Structures are given as C-alpha cells and as structure tokens.
Structure 1
Amino acid sequence: MLLAHDTEAALLAAVELVNSGEDPDTLLSTEEVDAWYARHRYTGRRDRDDAELAELRAIRPVLRNLLRADRDTAAEMVNQMLAEARAMPRLVRHDDIDWHIHAVSADEPLVRRVLVETAMAMADVVRGDEMSRLAVCADDTCDGIVLDLTRNRSRRFCSTTCANRVAVAAYRARKRS
C-alpha cells in the first residue's frame, strides 16, 4: 500500500522527533526546533520559547509508544489522542502542498498539532495494516525508530550511522575469525 503524502510526512516528522531523544539528544534548543519545523514543513502557530521546546521533548515517549504499539493498541491510542484534541479533520491546501488533512486549527499549540497529525497518520497505517513499516533499529546499541517506506520493506536501521556501525562490526568480526 502506498501511503498518502501527508501520512508519510507526519510519520517522518514523528520518527525524527522520537529519534532526537537518542544519544546524543538532538533537540536541545529552539533553533533545533525551528530546523525540525522547517524540514518537515509544519505550518501554523509557533511560540518559539523554552516551554514549547520542553513540550516537544516531553511528547517523545508518547509518540514512541504509539509508533511501536501493536495494531489494536495503536488504534485505541489514536482514538484517544483525537478525542482529547477534539479533532475535526478537514482537507486543506497551502503553500505548494496539494490537498491533505489537518485535524486541528493552525492556531493550536505545535505540540497538539504534532500529536494529532501523527495520530491521523497512524490511523492510515492501522487501517492499511501497515504496522510492519515501523520497527526498532536493528543496531543492538540503538533504540531508534525505523520508518520503512521502501517497496520491498528492507530498511532495518534508523540512520546511516547505525547501518555503518553494524557493517563495520560485522567486518571486524569476520576478520578476527
């Protein structure tokens, strides 16, 4: 199943946000939030303060739990998140992005928008029975989340760094034996 462009975008943003909490933490300043916000083409309200940064950092475990949940648990979590936000999905088009779904107002705090957009994306993943697209990094020293958007579902690592670390370790182990 192909995921809609807004589903992919929300999942990519959520995975990067969750993985920013891995060692080393890469979400330590409002400038890093600015870069993440721009990279993932978020629109709407930005407070650009330490409170917003703290709120984003605080939802990383919530998003991790959602992204790693089994299908039934994810469905329950999605329903709860959307109900708490009083989400009202609507089609929007802005900038150069074609029609896609927003479920809360652009005036809502960034954290609420991230939670709702991730929940909406996970609703598509659950409905399409695509939970296997989400996994934990195959590097035993990493707990990063992997979003596998490849056609053959072959992605195993959260980053090139982890893939290289495992490849080098395997090479060195072969050389030793």
Structure 2
Amino acid sequence: MQFNHDNMHGVRLAEAFVNMLGDGSWDSDVLQELLTSHMFRSPRITPEYRAELREWAVRLQSVFAAEDQEARCAAVNDLLAAGVRRVFLTTHDDMLPHLHFADASETLVERVRAVTAGGLAIFMTEAAGERLGVCAWRDCSRVFADTSRGGNRTYCSARCGNADAVRRYRGRARPS
C-alpha cells in the first residue's frame, strides 16, 4: 500500500503529541518546535494552550490504543466531532489542492485539534482502519502509524523490536 506522504502531517503530529505524553517533555519550547516542524506558522504557546493540547493528546491516544477497527473508527469520529468545524479544499504556497480542516483564523488549539483529527481520519481511510498502534515492547508505550509496505509493524522502532527479540532469545536460552 502506498501512502500519500504529503497528507501525513496530521497523523504524524497526532503521533508526536501522544508520544510526548510518555516522554515527559511537555514544555512550551518543545511544543513550539514540534508545531513549527508541522507547518504551524509562529505558534505561540500560552499556559492555557499547553494544558488544552495535553488534554487533546490524551484523547488522541485512544485512537492508537483502540482494540479493533470499530473502536478506532469510533474514537476518530469522536475527535472529528470535537475538533473539526468545517472541511474545505484549498491551494496555497504553490501546493496542489488539498484539504484543510481548520481556518487560519481559528486558535492554535482549534487548528491542532482539526489537523490531527482530520489527519487521523484520512489515514484511517487510506489504511482501511488499521495500521495505528502502540509499541509491543513491554517497556515502551510509544504509538506509531505504520506506513511500511507490509503493514505488519508491531513496534514503534527497530530499536524496540530488537530489544524485544533479545529478551525473548535470552528467555529461551536460560537453562531450566
């Protein structure tokens, strides 16, 4: 399956927000850097915005942790209802036509909610409701969006996959 990586910034932003919950790096500078890297122009992070974005990240986590396709769709629908006021097609900055889920006049938090909810919805349709998950390594709780060719990823990174393989190997190699 091929994913349109130009449409991935909403799902990647959702992934990054959820992973920030576990990383413990929830400060304004980190948030500002993250939002700037995801095409938000000059994001100003107030203490209120920081708290609201953290609450939103907790809600985003439910999509990645959902047990099955039906639960994942329901979680995305809840996010869409809470975060998207309107959807429109646009062109700007020499880009091809693409969807926007928020207007530039909306607050930073409203735009983040819309972009992440919309991005997850697009990804879900492209991935047939699958390919979102939580790392299978017991010592990791990072989430991921699987864009691999095979679509059978279970770890957030090769590092976690290797660590789990070593743990399993050592468990088998121990004498009884």
Range into which the TM-score falls when normalised by the shorter chain = 0.7 to 0.9
Q: How far did residue 128 of structure 1 move? A: 4.2
Which residue is equivalent to 1:106? 104
Q: Which residue of 1 aligns with 2:18?
A: 18
Range moving further from structure 2, 28-37 or 82-91: 82-91
C-alpha displacement at 1:59, in angstroms? 1.4
**How many equivalent pairs are there?**
174
Runs (4+) of structure 1 exceeding 6 A deviation are none
Supply the AA of the counterpart residue of 2:56.
I
* Paired amino acid for 1:36: L
Taking a change above 3 Å as real, the CA distance of residues 35 and 92 of structure 1, as seen in their structure-2 partners, is: same
Residue 51 of structure 2 is matched in structure 1 by 54
The corresponding residue for 1:151 is: 149
CA deviation map 1:22-64 (0-9, x unaligned): 1x312x211101221122x232572322222222112122001
Q: CA deviation at 1:135?
A: 1.6
1:66 to 55, 63, 66: 63
Q: After superposition, what is the alpha-carbon deviation per residue over 1:79-119, rounded to whole angstroms, capped at 9, x for unaligned?
A: 44434445221123344654321111123222222222222
Give the Cα–Cα distance (whole angstroms) in 2 for the partners of residues 161 and 25 of structure 1.
20
2:117 alignment partner in structure 1: 119
Aligned alpha-carbon RMSD (Å): 2.7
CA distance in 2, matches of 1:76, 1:156: 22
- Which structure 2 residue ranges, 5 or more long, are not aligned? none
CA shift, 1:74, in A, is: 3.8
What letter corresponds to residue 100 of structure 1 in structure 2?
H
Identical-residue share of aligned pairs (%): 29
Contact 2:87/2:102, CA 8 A, preserved across alignment:
yes
- Which sections of structure 1, spanning at least 5 residues, go unmatched? none
2-structure distance, mates of 1:29, 1:128? 33
CA distance in 2, matches of 1:14, 1:74: 14
